[in-house]
Structure 1
Amino acid sequence: MGELIEGVWHPNWYDTASNGGRFVRSRARFRNWITADGSPGPSGEGGFPAEAGRYHLYVAHACPWAHRTMIFRALKDLAPLIDVSVVHPEMLEDGWTFDRSFPGATGDRLYGLAFLREIYLKADPGISARVTVPVLWDRKRETIVSNESAEIIRMFNAAFDHITGNRLDFLPEGDLDEIDRLNDRIYGTVNNGVYRAGFATTQEAYDEAAAPLFETLDWLEERLATRRYLVGDRLTEADWRLFTTLVRFDKVYHTHFKCNRRQIVQYPNLWGWLRELWQVPGVAETVHFDHIVRHYYFSHDTINPHRIVPLTPDPDFAAPHGRDQLFQASRLR
């Protein structure tokens, strides 16, 4: 995970020493919004109207943040409108690359570039930023709309509805406050919590991350005992944001990031909920465990310097989830 500093590539890892051994995630650099009519969104500038074929998505199948966008692309029928380039799962001294030698890595389908950082430099030749996925690219203006996954999925939730006719809404207005509260806790302690534990370089920093992670997992297990989904009887954004972390948990975070107090398969309600979401049509096809396992165990040489890729568990996500018997509600409305 290198960075661009005033347009020059530096293969720098995160500086945990200056933060007491703590991993501190960088903020996304591009924060514009696609809207139905091109009007400005909550941040950034306007001029990005929803149009078929105008936008392109750069993703890593390994990355949970990019995975969110691929799930929403699938569920909202956006694949015919927004095409995708997939980077190689290994993130080494050149960061994310467009090497096509790994199955499923597509190369750069727009410009034939070698490195993802070159996309950032096309948007801003003097940029200073971490080079992260996902990247939502505007073909017409030749710039990055957004590299903030939380905002991209909110664009995908509604901006293209008038084109696709898909009215599935994972942000129902009456539940928005509760969704935001859930997202805040889950992001801090689970989505980013696994990274804070895994990238910690002091015992104190690790303890600060690992304990709240399992406190939240225990809380979520209790919550899902009394409701089918995180907010109630319908799937929302909060479920999908949690899903992309938990589907990786037993394969990589449990071992590689030392989040090993319990596996998700040991939480009856979370495990049933996770299987149900996996079985929503279109979702399983967005999960690529070969990219996930290769990326985590091979890319982080500060954690796994010999790059040994271990045998990993093989949970049966297709097994009956049992949630239908516990709760009588439709999965999608």
Structure 2
Amino acid sequence: MSRYLASVWLMLTLDLRQRVRSTAWYVILGVYAAVLLVFSVGAAATVANWAGGGVLYSVVVYFVLLLATLVSPALSGTAINGEREAGTLATIQVTSITTGQIVLGKFLAAWATSLVFLAVSVPFLALGLAFGEISALTVLSSTLILAAELGVLSAIGVGLSGLIRKPLFSVVVSYLVIAGLSIGTLLVFGIAGTLTQTPVKVTTIQSQWTTDPESGESTALCDAPEVRYETTPRYDLYWGFLAANPYVVVADASARDFDQYGTPRDVFGFIASGVRLAQQTPEAEKTYDYCRSDSDGTPGITAEESLRTGAPSWFLGLAIQAALGAGALLGAWRATRAPSGRLGRESRIA
């Protein structure tokens, strides 16, 4: 086992040394830090004034995740087929290092590289603490789930670089897969939920108020119930697609902060409570009785209370993403192992 891990460590360090020697690595890192600095300062000058430090922090976290989805495919999408194009992959494969060690080492190197970007982001993530309204637990939990998401993105990029022989094509497909998780899941959830309708019986009881001219007392006269039938979307059937979204995973896995009224102080709480509400099956019958004196005085549940209902979605979402990344790495292992039983046209061996 120690020899196996030693070979993985060798692949990891070799890959990292190649990246560190590249000038483009420092340029990308510098541009990343500059963009994040400009955005954080701009957000602090605008968002924090009217929304508070909690919203500022969650906005910066999501911006870091957005930048990660833009940078990660470029860093990991050519990990294996780039070696094949350069003619160095075959040289590695004739050594005692196995294909599994190559793929695992490349994945860990890509993940470690992305964690460097996360480390650069930490000072900007801590900016929310300076404005208050955010707890250290929220910062810690969101940082850890960001690190896990970077691992998933790295696994997808490295896996596709092994499955697809052309580096440019593998990078493009990596972007498309990540776009499918980030945007496609929202579209499927919204469109499928809207198209799937269920009938609802709605009963409305109106009231007419009359005033006695002698006593001056007002009395409510109840009208006959009005019944109508309408349809409502069934989002509860498709909330699994929403759970697979990286931004939903970050929101649901992060600790949330609430004020004394149960209102979220950050964007995480609004998104997480919205997902819990999407899990609920719509009522088959609704009654609006305006003739009851207490019909308008019943308070609704707060966002904090809604999080106690339903199931946390980040477990499912992270499991789906991990399965996707593991499947890509497994496919890369099968496509890269040597000797290969079949090679594509114009495939380079050495």
TM-score, shorter chain, exceeding 0.5? no
Structure number with higher relative contact order (C-alpha < 8 Å, ≥ 6 residues apart): 2
Compute the TM-score of the two structures, normalised by the length of structure 1. 0.28
Of the two, which has the highest radius of gyration? 2
